[in-house]
Amino acid sequence: SIKTNQLQEVIVTGTRTERTVATLPLPTQIISGENIRKSGLSRLNEIIQEQTGLITVPDFGGGEGIQMQGLDATYVMILIDGQPLFGRSAGTLDLSRISVNNIDRIEIVKGASSCLYGSEALAGVVNIITKKPTITNKIKGNINYKLATFNTHDVSTTFEYGKNKVGIELFGNYFKTNGYNLSDNDFLQTVEPYYNFTIQPKVKINFSDKINLSLNSRIYNQNQDYNAEIGTDKYVGESNINEWNNSILLNQTVSDKFKLVYDLYATNYKANEYLNDQNNQPFDESKFN
């Protein structure tokens, strides 16, 4: 006795506008937040490994990038809420930098999208769309903790508050692991011990039914220790990564068929690494900004 309508999946990455999957000119894939939560996984590279047609490849530091359409990870664009992520190592953007605990869905577009996103999107685009603040006049919060092998700890927490026309969300994540080694003869462990944290505050303001403003920020820090041996010589070092992303997004609906989007985005990525010998003299050092 109740009329029901079957809704089609909507994707925004393929054309930068809301389109149903059936009308897109490129093969697409959507990973829902519900499926991510059911998987029990905590980093983006682990989610990508479970998908068909996608291959993760390791970089020199133990991180993992993504290969698509037979092309190298250099040609896959990674976005968060439609904004590009920076900071590649040898062309690979480490997917383990991204926590999945506040993701609403992941949109994957396979095929050349360079006309929309530049030369880095020659193989395809992966857009991580995070949850948006809700205005419900309530205070909500949750905390998740995961314990895994290699002394791996993953803690995530979310705080939400909305009142009148303003919604606020604060997400935080802390990840720590001892790493692992696949060969006793290596110069370094396959993955050295490291820890990182992510903080993502968001504010949404609805000025009216037709105008709303979103303020999004992301702060990320990672620290990794190195201990290496060559014969009788011992080396110690450290890798430190600092990253921030800020965006201001104003949406204005003029009519049912006409919408204006004003977007201002800024990002910065810094990576400093060094390796000293047993006399604390520099053996290797690199800086990226």
Using one digit for the tens of pLDDT, what is the confidence trace for 229-249?
A: 777 788 899 999 999 999 999
pLDDT at residue 137 in the model? 80
Alpha helices by DSSP H, the chain: 33-39, 44-49, 114-117
**Mean pLDDT on 180-199:** 84
Tokens describing residue 238:
């450290």
Q: Which amino acid is at 276?
A: N
Looking at the chain, the whole-number percentage of residues with pLDDT higher than 70 is 91
**Using CA atoms, how far apart are residues 231 and 9, in angstroms rounded to an integer?**
58
**Mean pLDDT on 242-271:** 94
For the beta carbon of residue 93, count every other beta carbon within 10 angstroms: 25
Q: Which amino acid is at 61?
A: G
Q: Which amino acid is at 247?
A: S
Question: Strand 83-84 and strand 76-80: pairing?
Answer: antiparallel
For the beta carbon of residue 154, count every other beta carbon within 10 angstroms: 19
pLDDT at residue 23 in the model? 66
For the beta carbon of residue 57, count every other beta carbon within 10 angstroms: 12
Among 35-44, 53-62, 222-231, 254-263, name the one with the lowest average pLDDT: 53-62
What is the tens place of the pLDDT at every residue in 67-109?
888 888 888 999 999 899 988 877 788 888 899 889 999 988 8
What is the tens place of the pLDDT at every residue in 278-288?
888 998 899 99
Among 86-95, 140-149, 150-159, 240-249, name the one with the lowest average pLDDT: 86-95
CA of 244: how far to CAs of 99, 166, 176, 200, 219, in Å?
A: 15, 24, 20, 10, 4
**Using CA atoms, how far apart are residues 171 and 3, in angstroms rounded to an integer?**
38
Q: Which amino acid is at 203?
A: V
Tokens describing residue 145:
């903790």
DSSP 118: -
Q: Is the dihedral of CA 30, 143, 97, 152 positive or negative?
A: negative
Taking the model in full, what pTM does it have? 0.86
| Contacts with 146 (C-beta within 8 Å, 6 or more apart), sequence order | 40, 42, 152, 153, 154, 155
63 DSSP β-pair partners: none
**Using CA atoms, how far apart are residues 168 and 234, in angstroms rounded to an integer?**
49
CB of 198 within 8 A of CB of 154?
no
For the beta carbon of residue 201, count every other beta carbon within 10 angstroms: 16
What region, left, alpha or beta, does residue 183 occupy, with left being phi > 0 and alpha being psi -120 to 50 degrees?
beta
Q: Which helix (H) or strand (E) holds 149?
A: none
pLDDT at residue 234 in the model? 87
